[in-house]
Structure formats: structure tokens, C-alpha cells
Amino acid sequence: MADIFYPLQWIADKLTYEVFGIAPATHLAASVNFIIYDVLKIFVLLSVMIFAISYLRTYITPEKTRKVLGGKKGLRYHLIASLIGTVSPFCSCSSVPLFIGFVEAGVPLGVTFSFLITSPLVNEAAVAVLWATLGLKATAIYVVSGIVLGVFGGYVIGFLKLEKYVEEFVYKIKVGKQASEQEKMTVKERAGTAFEGVKDIVGRVWIYVIIGVSIGGIFHGYAPEGILEKYAGKGNLLAVPIAVLVGVPLYSNVMGMIPIMESLIGKGLPIGTSLAFLMSVTAVSLPEMVILKKVLKKELIAIFVSIVGLSIIFTGYMFNILL
């Protein structure tokens, strides 16, 4: 990874030490160099990954997804739903129509939740920023954990047979069949769609990335080494659940929180606690719960949040032990 991004580090060094004239081996130099390098690296990876996933996404329509999963039960279908969720567009604003469409098409409730859990949790933007800041190993751990969490959470919800907690009107709605224009797109049209995806997502998250990297850079340069290890390290048994509770209301700032996490990990925050924080920010966001309240009764929302929240906490503890 370091060799691949050497040109970006060279640019960061040139700007920090020669253009800005900041003396090496100072707190200010460490902060400025961190900010320049991370901003460049994140935007490069973000653009490449969004383009690739957006291109792939042109082949995966909600209609195709419903056909694959409709009426299907069993653990493997939870896995398929989670895998589809990793490359499918999903945000809190689209949760209600997607949920209604899946239920109307006969997709079992548990399988639907496997998709809904993984789709916002493992998205190309978060993966790109994670890869750029924490490296391939941590990113792989995050992706696998997100898929497993989706499979487990959806399976438990399906096992508990909670269909009675879905608002009755959902089962009465008939969602029209989607047009199949995407199937007829040319390579050029798909590439154009992918490029528009890059412009859209980068255009929406760039400010969060810069703010997050800047805060992380300040912490990177000025915070004493080991300060977080002392107060929120593996020895603090409450660190993981506290991280999850803090992460829930921070959904809109997820892209900015990842660079801050990088800096916090560098100062001693355990990787498991960090991953638990990020998962809570993404998978159990307060805005999504508010919107899902339109189609789910409060009992099911409470069960959903409890299952996912406890699973995230378990994941955080597990990786703190293993890593």
C-alpha cells in the first residue's frame, strides 16, 4: 500500500516541508503532512472504488434482487441477500421503498433484514476510506464482519417470526415492476452512469472527509502517545459499548469519522473498539430508524436495534481479543 501511494506521500512531503516551509519533526509538520497525504489518498481510492462498484451496480436492479430472493428461505439466502447488499445502493432515504418492494415480492422478513443491515454497513465509500486510512487487513475484517452481521441479524429476526410487527398496509401495497432499461445499457452508458456516481457521492462526502482528516491530523500531531490506550484500551470493559452508543447518532458524519478513527487507533484505541464504533454509526443510525418507523412497529425496531447492537458489541470485543 505504501509503495502504491508513494507519489502522494512525495506530494505531501513537498507541500509540507518545501512549499509551506514547515520544519520537520514538529507537531505542526506531523499534522499538516497527515492531512495532505490522507486527503489525497482517500479521494483517489474513493473515486476508483465508487466508479467500479457503480459500474457493477448497473447490472443489479431491485427487480432482479427481488426475483432472486423472493419466497426463498434458508441460511444461504441470508448470505446472498447480504452479498447483494454490499454492492447495492442504500441509504436511510430509500429504506422504506426498498423494504416495501421486498416484502411485496415475497422476500421473507429475515432475508430482507439481512439485506437492509449489510447494505448501508458495507458500502463502497466507507470501504474506500477504510482502505485508505487503516489498510487492507482492517478493511477485509470490516467487510467480512458486516456480511456476517447481516446474515446473523436477519436469520435471528426470521427465526423469531416477527411479521406481525410489520405495519399491515405494507402487505397490501402493490409495487409496480421496474423497467428494464438497465439491462439494455451499452458499456459507454454504464461507464457514464458510474462516472455520475463518482461525482454524486464525492460531491456529497468531500466536506466530511476534509473535516474528519483535519481533526484526525490535529490529534495525530499533538495528542500524547498511548493516551487512548490508557483510558479506552482493552482493559476498559465498557469501552466497546460506549463506542457503540456514541456512534449511533453520528450517521451523517461517517465519512469524516473514519480518518479520525485512523488517528485514534494510532494513539492506542483498539481496532475492535474502532470497528464497533464505525458499525454503529453505519448500521444502527438514528435517521434510518426514524424513517423505518413508517413501516415497522416499535417492537420490531427495538428488536432489530438490540440484535444488531449486541452483535456489534460482540464483534468489537472479539476483535479486541484477536488483534
Residue 209's nearest CA partner among 1, 10, 42 is 42
Report the distance separating Cα 266 and Cα 256, nearest Å: 16
Question: In 272-308, which positions are buried (b, 16+ CB within 10 angstroms) versus exposed (e)?
Answer: bbbbbbbbbbbbbbeebbebbeebbeeebbebbeebb
Residue 72, classed as helix, strand or coil, is coil
- pLDDT tens over the chain, length 323 residues: 446 778 899 999 999 999 999 999 899 999 999 999 988 988 888 888 888 878 877 776 666 766 777 666 788 889 988 888 887 655 555 566 677 777 777 788 999 899 888 887 787 777 877 787 778 888 888 889 889 999 999 999 999 999 899 888 777 765 554 445 555 778 888 899 889 988 887 887 788 888 888 988 887 788 776 766 777 777 788 889 988 888 777 655 566 777 877 777 877 888 888 888 888 877 777 767 777 888 889 999 999 889 988 988 998 898 888 77
Rounded to two decimals, the pTM is 0.71
Give the largest CA-CA distance in the chain: 68
Residue 127: CB atoms within 10 A of its CB come to 22
Asked if 261 and 295 count as a contact pair (C-beta separation under 8 A), the reply is no
Asked if 270 and 320 count as a contact pair (C-beta separation under 8 A), the reply is yes
Report the distance separating Cα 255 and Cα 127, nearest Å: 10
Question: In 165-194, which positions are buried (b, 16+ CB within 10 angstroms) versus exposed (e)?
Answer: bbeeebeeeeeeeeeeebeeeeeeebeebb
For residue 163, the 8-state DSSP code is G
